[in-house]
């Protein structure tokens, strides 16, 4: 695991590609602009990370080998398409709609606060096709 206590910094032009792993019947994916990656999370862009995606409402998440602290501006309610790093679970998360914690159909509420690291470029609802247990891959575009 990589640990970084450093505050995320802006990395202009950084981006990531998230998709169902093509080695496991890929169904496409989406692009995200990773505009706030810290020193630890920036390592995410140096290699593809594969994991078993899990879903929680309209969220896909999976563990990545990054450890970072919760930031001062961490949020518990996010916007459609936000890419999030959730420190308690060392998880990369993609939000494409409400979660079980949401208080109304238009709110996307996390289980607990997390760091916003980017945004899906395009229609984030394409991720509704991904089911729990699906192999997913995140890589720098």
For the full predicted model, state whether its pTM sits above 0.95.
Answer: no
| 92: in domain | yes
Q: Is position 2 within any domain? A: no
* CATH number of the structural domain spanning residue 93: 2.40.100.20
pLDDT band at 130 (very low <50, low <70, confident <90, very high): confident
pLDDT tens sequence across 67-115: 888 999 999 999 999 989 999 999 999 999 999 999 999 999 999 999 9
Confirm whether 78 is domain-assigned. Answer: yes
What domain range is 82 assigned to?
15-140
DSSP state of 58: S
Residue 49 falls within a domain, yes or no?
yes
Residue 112 lies in a domain: yes
Q: Tens of pLDDT along 41-75?
A: 444 545 567 788 999 999 999 998 888 889 999 99
In a domain, 7, yes or no: no
CA triple 140-76-81, angle to 5 deg: 40
What local confidence, expressed as pLDDT, does residue 47 receive? Answer: 59
In a domain, residue 21? The reply is yes
DSSP 85-127: EEGGGTEEEEE-S--TT-SSTT-EEEEEEEEEEEEEES-GGGG
Does residue 44 lie within any of the structural domains?
yes
Q: How many domains does the chain have?
A: 1
Predicted pLDDT of residue 137: 78
């Amino acid at each position: 695991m990589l640990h970084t206590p450093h505050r995320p910094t802006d990395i202009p032009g950084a981006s990531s590609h998230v998709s169902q792993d093509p080695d496991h019947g890929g169904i496409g994916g989406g692009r995200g602009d990773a505009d706030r990656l810290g020193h630890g999370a920036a390592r995410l862009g140096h290699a593809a990370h594969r994991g078993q995606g899990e879903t929680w409402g309209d969220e896909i998440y999976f563990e990545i080998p990054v450890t970072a602290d919760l930031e001062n501006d961490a949020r518990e309610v996010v916007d459609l398409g936000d890419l999030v790093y959730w420190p308690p679970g060392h998880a990369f998360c993609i939000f494409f709609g409400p979660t079980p914690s949401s208080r109304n159909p238009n709110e996307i509420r996390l289980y607990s606060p997390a760091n916003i690291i980017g945004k899906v470029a395009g229609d984030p609802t394409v991720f509704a096709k991904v089911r729990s247990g699906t192999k997913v891959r995140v890589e720098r575009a």
